[in-house]
Structure 1
Amino acid sequence: MDIFMAKQMRVVCRLVLIQMLLLTISFPGFAEETESHFKVLEIKEQMYAGSPAVAVLLSQALDPTIRHDRHLRISDVRKMLKSVWVLSEDGHTLYYPHVKPESEYSVTVLPSLKSAQDQELGTRVSEVVKTRKMPAGVSFASNGFVLPSKLSDGLPVVTVNVEEVFIEFFRLHDQGLIDFVNWSSLSGKKSAYRLRQLGSKYGDLVYSGRFDLHAPDNRRVIRNIGVQDIDALSQPGVYVAVLRQPGQYEYQYSCAYFLVTDIGLQVRVYADEIMVIASSIKTGKPLQGVELSFVDKESRVVLKGTTDSQGLFAYTGTNIDSFRVLKVIASSQVGVLPLQTSALDLSGFDITGRDFQPREVFLYSPRDLYRPGEQMIISALFRDYDGRPLPDLPLHVSLIRPDNKELRSFSWHPRELNATGINYYQKTIHIPSTAQTGKWRVEVKGDPAASVSVGSYSFHVEEFVPERMKLQLTSPKDLLHGKGPWPIEARGTYLYGAPADNNEIETRIFVRASRHPFPDLKDFEFGLEEEKHYSDTWKKNAKHLDKQGKADLSIENHWTNLKSPMAVHATVSLLESGGRPVKRTITRTFFPANELVGIRKLFEQDTLGPGPVGFEVVNVDRQGNFIPAENLVLDIIKQDREYFWEYSEEKGWTREYTEKNSVLRSETVQFDGQKPLNYTVRLERGRYLLRVKNLSTGQMTTTRFRVGFWWGGADETDGAHPEKVMLQLDQPAYQPGDRIELTVTPPHSGQALITVESDTTLWSRRTHVSDQGTVLEIPVSADWNRHDMYISAVVFRPCNAPEKIGPNRAVGVIHLPLQRSRRKLEVNIDAPDKVSPQDTLPVHIQVKGQGQKAFVTLAAVDVGVLNITDMKTPQPYAWFFTPRRYDVLWYDMYGKIIEMMEGEAATVTFGGDKDMRPGGKRPETKVEIVSLFKGPVELSEQGEARIDLHLPYFNGRLRLMAVAFSKNDYGSAHGQVQVTAPLVTQLSTPRFLAAGDSSQLTLDIHNLSGRERMIEL
């Protein structure tokens, strides 16, 4: 009996231990501890100092003050090798360098290996590593063409297992700059045929030589060709270097373009003006007295000039489009800048808007949706670029179909009003009954022969039926979190006021990843890379509204297990009795935790060269507010891909890959909650993942990026991609006489050029700015009255040759807003909340702020029509004074500077109108559209007007839209009026029927009289 009890006790103890172990493993804290346990992540081949090496990647850093060789064993197929390992800078990787290509190595890590945290490995880890083949190859190593004078070691060449090269140098003629050079892609190879043309037509061979590269075996190294030490290359000009291996003759050869100079060039092209900025590459300071020559496509010099004391030159003329290349010379140095390549990408700045026009027309209509056969009333105000009056002129109007063909045109004259300078136009346009459906537009020109219109109004022509109902969706939850469902209240009413009782609603849910959930942190990413393309959708069972037209919806939570923010959309369709839906969507953001970590890349994707890689990291709450975090773990993960070909009957041969991830660097930091945390790490070319984890919450964000990708041996990335300069204004708007206090905060200190620009340079100043921020004063001139004015800044980073920091520039652009609030009219509409059909609707309009004679137009349109296109009330004030597009093109050569690369010098060994509805009668649908328009009506001296609208028989809601204007001032307002009969009947009929079909008609009857009524049908 005791023996049985003892056995039973042992079984129970084992079960308890198993349960405790399972509980421990499932506890989140244990997972964290396991993840940080010291272990070998991977043993594989990696490059070290340009040579293949065996790498042991570890989860924790090792102590760099001691040797770890005795804890590792390595052997090849013949013998045990001497264990001499090199520790990486971050302490996470041990390298066994100088292994041979196409060889096999056996590696063992002993359990005695200890981390810097004094954790012992504990287990023996062994792996066999097979090294790859290293084929011989040589090419130029940069996509640039500018070698900074006295700052560069030469023209870099990358070589693997090639001992020497033969290079020919050609100096290009002006015609060669135009026809031979592909300025958009300076790297790569040229065919033997094109190179024969180079020597006979586009340039002169000035030097050729054989260069010993002193390249070690099986190692990728950079060698610099010292072109600055070759006398034959000292004459100013652009050179082409053609490289080949001695004794080898191929179809194509690696080429590089270069010139040696300290002249940094930037060009800005305006509508009829061009400005050149010349600065020292070494210091960023202005260069005075630089001689400029602009060359056309025939290599003719069409313009010459000289820079002033600020390094600037400006020219105004109509022949700017003919300029192809800018050539400059100062003392014994030259510079070249092509002007027909892609301009600098400034899309990261808020510079969008419509194009500037000296004369503009504000066009508006009661609605932007019409049926074929209807009449459209369109109005216009003709003004200058600042909303000021112009002389009365006839305008030329074209009605353009969706296929971009003109249907008709006419001359448009202003209405005669009891005031001068109003320039108000009005026209009724008949839309043909056979009009094709789609997006139409009215285009207005001041001159029929002009190529650009001064105004355009787009509208839709469709076979539509107005909506009869209104659907409102509300939720008590402003955001989603946790495991519960999402409650939504749907409320449906007919536009004439009756509840949509017993009407059916259908609901469909869409869930999409939301990587940028906070508008104020739009450049920061939140969530996991593997969930960035997540999407899901499902449909709920239909249900009916209650007698009050309400329904409570409970959306099942299918997103609670996701680890990233999600945008959850609920699209609800309210069905009319005849089955036609009215759709509305409500959206909420799901947050997986109370706190989130975010990452901002301080670079553009695919423009990143090897070297420093910068990020900003934040920790925020669900409103996007910064929250301090004690333990943020930042991991840089290398993602190595091994590609292979795979065949399947469905796809045939496809290129697939396997991916291995290894942690290269890991560190724990604190976030103070005050400003984004800067994180910079130096990386070689490859694919990477940055993972940021908050140890306190377990929340993670990951982002992928690539460093230093190449094609044909040369980097195609722009190593000098412009960084951003932060510009901040001290006021929301300015007027003449004000002084702007502009705060300039660049990523690096340096010489800066600050400019105010529109279609020309209005103001400029050269000054030094600090990376801690510099405040500058800009006086606002009386003639600054355009709305395409922007303040721009370019800050030049000086060169630091010992640190191998190349020159660059940072750029900032911000709109300069003008004070125009005094020209805004305050418009108020006073009308009854409810009227009956066929009544007269009295509308009182009050306008405040008018200083001269003013007029108003009034439209009353069925809300059921406006809701289809979500049309907004016309707003002339916002239209006239909104920012215009920044229409300046930037070109510079800073993106084409040849990078400063570590490498030894190579030595020279020797070398001296048809109907759109054919085929039958169109179906006839009788639809009554309520769209009333009155005006222009002159306001009294007190700014008042009464307008009576005679309503047809109609039940629904009308939107009242008032547009007020004088010669210089503008305003608008809107309101709604419910139109309801005591008894409302609505008949729903099918949209179309075929011969022999049968159908049902649906009749809706609503008694809104407040008393019982007997109805006979």
Structure 2
Amino acid sequence: DSYNVERVGVNIVEKDLEIGNKKNQWLQNELDLSKIIKPDEKGLFLVTVSFEKKDMLYNFSDDKAQTFTDDEYYNNPNSEGYIGTFGSTHKALILSDIGLTYKKGYKQHIVYSTDIINAKPKGGVNVFLKNYQNQVLAMKETDSEGKAVFEDISQEVFYIEGEKDAQKSVVVPNEMSWNLSTFSTEGDETQDDGTKAVIYTERGVYRPGDSVNISVIARNTDGTFPDNYPLNLKIYNPKQQVVFEQNQKDAKEGFYNFTYNTSENDMTGNWSIEASTGNKTFSQLLKIETVIPNRLKVKIEPQKEELTSADQTLNFKIKSNYLFGNPSSGLDTDVTGTLRSVSKTVPAFPDYTFNNEAIDYKEISQKILAGKLDDKGEKQVIWGLPKLTKVPSQIQATIETKVIERGGRDTQSATNVLINPYNNYVGIQKPDLDYSKTGENITLKAIVTDLKGKMVAGKKIRYTIYQNNRNWWWEYDNQNDFRLHYKSDNETQVVKQAEMDSKLQPLEISFKPENSGEYFIEVTDASVPNGHTAGFFFSSSFWGNSNAKDDGVLVLKSDKEKYNSGEKAIITFPNPENAQCLVSLERGNKVIKSYWYSTKDKMAKIEVPITADMLPTTYVSVSVIQPHAQTENDRPIRMYGVLPINVEDKETRQEVDLKLPTQLEAKKPFTVELQTKDKKATQFTLVVVDEGLLDLTNFKTPDPWDSFYKKLRLGVTTHDLFAYIIGVNKGDVFKTFSVGGDLDYMLNQQEMKKAKRFKLVSLYKGPTMTDENGYAKVTFTMPEYLGSVRVMAMTAKGKRFGSAEKTVPVKSDLIMLPTIPRVLSPGDTISLPVSVFSTKDNIKSAVVKLETEGALTVNGENKKSLVFDKPGDKDISFNINVGNTAENAKIILTGNSLSSIEQSITDINIRPSSPRIDAIQEKTGAKGQVTSFFVPDKGMKGSDKSVLTIARRPKLNLSNRLDYLNNYPYGGLEQSVSSVFSQLFLKDFVKTNDKGNKTLDNNINGAIKNLRKYQLGNGSFAYWSGDTETDIWATNYTGHFLIEAQKKGYFVPDEMMSNWYRFSKNQALN
């Protein structure tokens, strides 16, 4: 920034330069500054080159009244804005031979100094770490290896200064960072002090009203954690309101458990769990939905996981069985297929796009099959694929299968198969911003890869650059529509086109946008007809993004993908002659080792001993620095590369065996035995969950080892000045920034179903300790359930973690599966389908009897006899009438065979379809007079209630009015608060007994708790639960209620009250 430079600097020379009269050409000129700046002169010099209107070779317009709009004001030479935009440029200079590289970790700062002339380490350099106020935070002198290490400095370092022999160099971290988006440096965040915590639950989705068991395992870097250390856990609903908070101290070795009981009225959606210990916070998603578990297990098995352009069909098999083991013989199945375009990703090139933004590929959906499964519950399917043309990238084929039980209940499953319409793909490295500055060079990189993501050489590629300066809104409804018609638009023109051959290194594409407008760059594989084309849009304007300075990318290769402690990793990379290599080993946010390396070999090879402290990920960072004077190769003076080394230690895995019966029975106890294979003690949690419930979200058994030893993100940042050295005319790569991440398309596409009643299996134990030999025995009782359960164990001890699972059917000799509605209304008539299964050869006949309680009566026969030739299933049905009453009811099915008697009991709600009705009659009676009242029979049977009250004075009917308020059928905030506001003062003028007082207290406390559902993140309240807009009246009214409730001694959460107060205060001030 050159503004106001005269305040801190003085002009030392000013001179007019004659550059000739060639028009419309970029001319490269040199400035010899040796006579102005002496070799030993210190300081910062700013060189400015500028021109005025009189210096321009241009036929200016004589129209003094000419006006300019939009870009024309800045791009038309007749405009004063043209001089302001293009009339000057600046460059800052420092005379120095000191090269600086700076690495920043957690409270760790390391500076490496080199001699720019010969690239060798430079000792004796005074290194200063300075803050934004130019104050020295620390100073050290580099050693003989050119290294200065600063520890325990937590203040923010604004810049680094190196000084020796009257020379000075500077590194500004914010402007001189290595661009690491080309490298695989993503991963799990490393906490600054090494503390880490893992949160897990026993399943992937919960219903409103379910209990959520939350486990938290916390560890320090050394694998320890103090006993009884406080940990705070918060749960946020989808509106980011805190609905649960608990501090827990009674935990051993950092293994915690919390239980949160959801309410049946809780909102559905994505909730979140947040665990905090010290000043560190960790989070986990929590899904609450109205769901029903699957009763079938449906699998889709593709013949191939990925197809090529030669494949004309997609072959797969459907396999289905009931969770208790029987095949889904003869059930109906519907299969649909969808083809949609997805962007190909190559992990080795995360900042490259392999997509074409100018193509809108329309999704193709086809009905593949409507048929029946065979006796084994299977079906072989061949899907003839349509012709795939003009595909912007890969195609994802989604196969969705629905298997329908005879009662109408279905189970869905889906899987994806990738289809490659091309044998090779073109990738373009995208800039970090979608706009650039007119008149500045842009350098992009392009590659060709095979299907495995490896670069391919020798392929002819063609790149084309288009430009269009149309304001799209004049002709198109939106920008997307404009881009889809971009190439055919009559304002679009080709500004550059060329061909080149691909190599095993990225190719460079350079051009300079001369005019403002929308540009489109596409690169095509021209070696085959209809080869793949990648392309993206960007805009160019006078205010666009100026190209940042970055240096050449260095490709590092390792001899293995994973290493064990004690092995050696062999790292290779290209090495120019006379270069010096700075090698650094970095884990998380710490540099654990660094050293200089040099070799005359063209391919450098370094050995990295693997140690236990490198788990799970250590990065090898290499900076190859060439002497400034070298002219034998066209590589940048400094190239850099980063490579992750994945390290495992078998000692960190705790293998566990689970032993339990191969089959479980409902309403009977069962025992699970746990044994660590190393016979060492451990802590564990043990859960038993309905497999049909886990299948809804494809739930994977939690594995603490995966969480604690997943790939770490590189937290060390590296900065240097080599990209800013003058006199090294090398092509640098354009700075890019990684956008987005891995494709995250859920395999299971089905929507969560409307809530139906089902009895949940979710048993939990822990955390608890095994004995000293790693053995434990836990006994559960299986509730009334038929299907399949997954038994899961998660263990943790020090640095060792493990998990184990077993899936076990829950069945009996005779199984009855009724399909029952969630609720019924008075007067309904329903047909109750029941599937009856015989699971053993000795069951040849059975009688199923239906009984009801409450408002239900059986219409017709209540017994059905069945005959089985072999193990299998039969379908029967009963008719049921619902009486004119609102009481709850039971459906009781009893199955009787020669070897067993089974019973299934289901509770069902009878919900009235009309609202509550109140009628009041008042009469005045004299002494000795007989007064009669007529009691109307208007309500449903079982719901009528009559109350007779005799009083000396007119009655307020408070009981009726409070009843009405408590049962008000609308849930707006005003109504909810009104229903309890008056109850705050009821004790002041009405005598109530202990039972009445308790009822009032429960009503008021429940209402205060319920207000969380209405409060928004800014402290205000919405009128309806789930709304996101503030209602000022409801906010004021609710705040008034909360203030009065506090005065009466009721507990109001501090967070709720303080957030309301903060919002209300801000509103009042504004």
Q: Hey, what does 2:115 align to over in structure 1?
A: 280
SS of the equivalent of 1:204 reads: coil
User: Once the 2 structures are TM-superposed, how far is the Cα of residue 712 of structure 1 from its aligned partner?
Assistant: 4.3
In 2, Cα distance between equivalents of 1:532 and 1:280: 51
Are the counterparts in 2 of residues 291 and 304 from structure 1 also a CA contact under 8 Å?
yes
Amino acid at match of 1:278: S
Instruction: Pick closer, same or farther for the CA change 1:868–1:296 going to 2, 3 Å.
Output: same
Q: Hey, what does 2:1002 align to over in structure 1?
A: none
SS of the equivalent of 1:879 reads: helix
SS of the equivalent of 1:229 reads: coil
User: Once the 2 structures are TM-superposed, how far is the Cα of residue 935 of structure 1 from its aligned partner?
Assistant: 4.1
Pair 1:313 & 2:148 matched: yes
Among residues 982, 991, 1005, which one is paired with 2:835 in the alignment? 1005
In 2, Cα distance between equivalents of 1:573 and 1:898: 67
Amino acid at match of 2:792: M
Pair 1:467 & 2:302 matched: no
Gaps of 5+ in 2: 55-79, 514-519, 731-753, 849-862, 864-877, 879-1070
User: Once the 2 structures are TM-superposed, how far is the Cα of residue 272 of structure 1 from its aligned partner?
Assistant: 0.9
In 1, Cα distance between equivalents of 2:473 and 2:564: 67
Instruction: Pick closer, same or farther for the CA change 1:806–1:226 going to 2, 3 Å.
Output: farther
Q: Hey, what does 1:435 align to over in structure 2?
A: 266
Instruction: Pick closer, same or farther for the CA change 1:778–1:510 going to 2, 3 Å.
Output: same
SS of the equivalent of 2:694 reads: helix
Pair 1:360 & 2:196 matched: yes
In 2, Cα distance between equivalents of 1:346 and 1:575: 51
In 2, Cα distance between equivalents of 1:395 and 1:224: 65
Instruction: Pick closer, same or farther for the CA change 1:983–1:562 going to 2, 3 Å.
Output: farther
Count, aligned residues = 770
Q: Hey, what does 1:219 align to over in structure 2?
A: 25
Are the counterparts in 2 of residues 485 and 555 from structure 1 also a CA contact under 8 Å?
yes
In 1, Cα distance between equivalents of 2:167 and 2:324: 80
SS of the equivalent of 1:226 reads: coil
After superposition, the C-alpha distances for 1:196-216 in whole angstroms (9 at most, x for unaligned) are x3323x433333221222352
Amino acid at match of 2:125: V
Among residues 962, 965, 969, which one is paired with 2:800 in the alignment? 969
In 1, Cα distance between equivalents of 2:180 and 2:673: 48
After superposition, the C-alpha distances for 1:534-587 in whole angstroms (9 at most, x for unaligned) are 342213176243353444444342135567753322222334567665332223
Instruction: Pick closer, same or farther for the CA change 1:1001–1:895 going to 2, 3 Å.
Output: farther
Q: Hey, what does 2:962 align to over in structure 1?
A: none
Pair 1:930 & 2:736 matched: no
User: Once the 2 structures are TM-superposed, how far is the Cα of residue 490 of structure 1 from its aligned partner?
Assistant: 2.2
Q: Hey, what does 1:263 align to over in structure 2?
A: 98
User: Once the 2 structures are TM-superposed, how far is the Cα of residue 1003 of structure 1 from its aligned partner?
Assistant: 2.8
In 2, Cα distance between equivalents of 1:428 and 1:337: 52
Pair 1:404 & 2:210 matched: no
In 1, Cα distance between equivalents of 2:524 and 2:112: 42
Amino acid at match of 1:960: V
Q: Hey, what does 1:740 align to over in structure 2?
A: 568
Pair 1:873 & 2:667 matched: no
In 2, Cα distance between equivalents of 1:680 and 1:237: 39
After superposition, the C-alpha distances for 1:202-238 in whole angstroms (9 at most, x for unaligned) are 4333332212223523432122233343249984333
Q: Hey, what does 1:290 align to over in structure 2?
A: 125
Instruction: Pick closer, same or farther for the CA change 1:389–1:327 going to 2, 3 Å.
Output: closer
User: Once the 2 structures are TM-superposed, how far is the Cα of residue 604 of structure 1 from its aligned partner?
Assistant: 6.7
Instruction: Pick closer, same or farther for the CA change 1:557–1:611 going to 2, 3 Å.
Output: closer
In 2, Cα distance between equivalents of 1:763 and 1:199: 45
User: Once the 2 structures are TM-superposed, how far is the Cα of residue 873 of structure 1 from its aligned partner?
Assistant: 1.2
In 1, Cα distance between equivalents of 2:561 and 2:25: 59
Among residues 36, 48, 54, which one is paired with 1:230 in the alignment? 36
User: Once the 2 structures are TM-superposed, how far is the Cα of residue 836 of structure 1 from its aligned partner?
Assistant: 2.5
TM-score (norm 1): 0.66
Q: Hey, what does 1:106 align to over in structure 2?
A: none
In 1, Cα distance between equivalents of 2:272 and 2:313: 46
For residues 16-95 of structure 1, the aligned pairs below 5 Å read none
Are the counterparts in 1 of residues 227 and 253 from structure 2 also a CA contact under 8 Å?
no
Instruction: Pick closer, same or farther for the CA change 1:706–1:679 going to 2, 3 Å.
Output: farther
Among residues 750, 754, 763, which one is paired with 2:583 in the alignment? 754
Among residues 546, 553, 570, which one is paired with 2:399 in the alignment? 570
In 2, Cα distance between equivalents of 1:520 and 1:300: 42
After superposition, the C-alpha distances for 1:579-628 in whole angstroms (9 at most, x for unaligned) are 665332223333457xx23456689788999699876556x5x778999x
Instruction: Pick closer, same or farther for the CA change 1:901–1:791 going to 2, 3 Å.
Output: closer
Instruction: Pick closer, same or farther for the CA change 1:285–1:440 going to 2, 3 Å.
Output: same
After superposition, the C-alpha distances for 1:692-728 in whole angstroms (9 at most, x for unaligned) are 4556xx5734445899x97649993345344033042
For residues 516-527 of structure 1, the aligned pairs below 5 Å read 516=344
Instruction: Pick closer, same or farther for the CA change 1:833–1:522 going to 2, 3 Å.
Output: farther
Are the counterparts in 2 of residues 636 and 688 from structure 1 also a CA contact under 8 Å?
no
Q: Hey, what does 1:824 align to over in structure 2?
A: 653
Are the counterparts in 1 of residues 130 and 136 from structure 2 also a CA contact under 8 Å?
yes
Amino acid at match of 1:762: I
SS of the equivalent of 2:642 reads: strand
Among residues 193, 204, 208, which one is paired with 2:10 in the alignment? 204
Pair 1:859 & 2:687 matched: yes
Q: Hey, what does 1:768 align to over in structure 2?
A: 598
In 2, Cα distance between equivalents of 1:395 and 1:517: 40
In 1, Cα distance between equivalents of 2:390 and 2:816: 49
Are the counterparts in 1 of residues 184 and 347 from structure 2 also a CA contact under 8 Å?
no
Q: Hey, what does 1:1014 align to over in structure 2?
A: 847
In 1, Cα distance between equivalents of 2:288 and 2:32: 69
Q: Hey, what does 1:344 align to over in structure 2?
A: 178
Q: Hey, what does 2:367 align to over in structure 1?
A: 540
In 2, Cα distance between equivalents of 1:484 and 1:589: 13
Gaps of 5+ in 1: 1-180, 182-189, 416-420, 670-675, 903-922
In 1, Cα distance between equivalents of 2:581 and 2:789: 57
In 2, Cα distance between equivalents of 1:611 and 1:459: 45
Pair 1:886 & 2:714 matched: yes
User: Once the 2 structures are TM-superposed, how far is the Cα of residue 929 of structure 1 from its aligned partner?
Assistant: 1.1
Amino acid at match of 1:1014: V
Amino acid at match of 1:1013: A
In 2, Cα distance between equivalents of 1:575 and 1:234: 86
User: Once the 2 structures are TM-superposed, how far is the Cα of residue 1013 of structure 1 from its aligned partner?
Assistant: 2.5
Are the counterparts in 2 of residues 829 and 845 from structure 1 also a CA contact under 8 Å?
yes
Are the counterparts in 1 of residues 442 and 547 from structure 2 also a CA contact under 8 Å?
no
In 2, Cα distance between equivalents of 1:712 and 1:803: 37
Are the counterparts in 1 of residues 688 and 762 from structure 2 also a CA contact under 8 Å?
yes
Are the counterparts in 1 of residues 614 and 647 from structure 2 also a CA contact under 8 Å?
yes
Structure with more contact order per residue of length (Cα contacts < 8 Å, sep ≥ 6): 1
SS of the equivalent of 1:733 reads: strand
Are the counterparts in 2 of residues 757 and 792 from structure 1 also a CA contact under 8 Å?
yes
In 2, Cα distance between equivalents of 1:842 and 1:926: 28
Among residues 277, 281, 285, which one is paired with 1:458 in the alignment? 285
Instruction: Pick closer, same or farther for the CA change 1:830–1:743 going to 2, 3 Å.
Output: same
Instruction: Pick closer, same or farther for the CA change 1:754–1:534 going to 2, 3 Å.
Output: same
For residues 724-739 of structure 1, the aligned pairs below 5 Å read 724-728=554-558, 732-735=562-565, 738=566
Amino acid at match of 1:226: D
In 2, Cα distance between equivalents of 1:644 and 1:710: 12
Comparing 387-396 and 608-617, the one that deviates more: 608-617
Are the counterparts in 2 of residues 368 and 458 from structure 1 also a CA contact under 8 Å?
no
User: Once the 2 structures are TM-superposed, how far is the Cα of residue 353 of structure 1 from its aligned partner?
Assistant: 1.2
CA RMSD of aligned residues (A): 4.3
SS of the equivalent of 1:393 reads: coil
Among residues 147, 151, 163, which one is paired with 1:329 in the alignment? 163
Q: Hey, what does 2:983 align to over in structure 1?
A: none
Amino acid at match of 1:869: T
Identity of aligned residues (%): 19
In 1, Cα distance between equivalents of 2:554 and 2:629: 20
Among residues 249, 271, 284, which one is paired with 1:413 in the alignment? 249
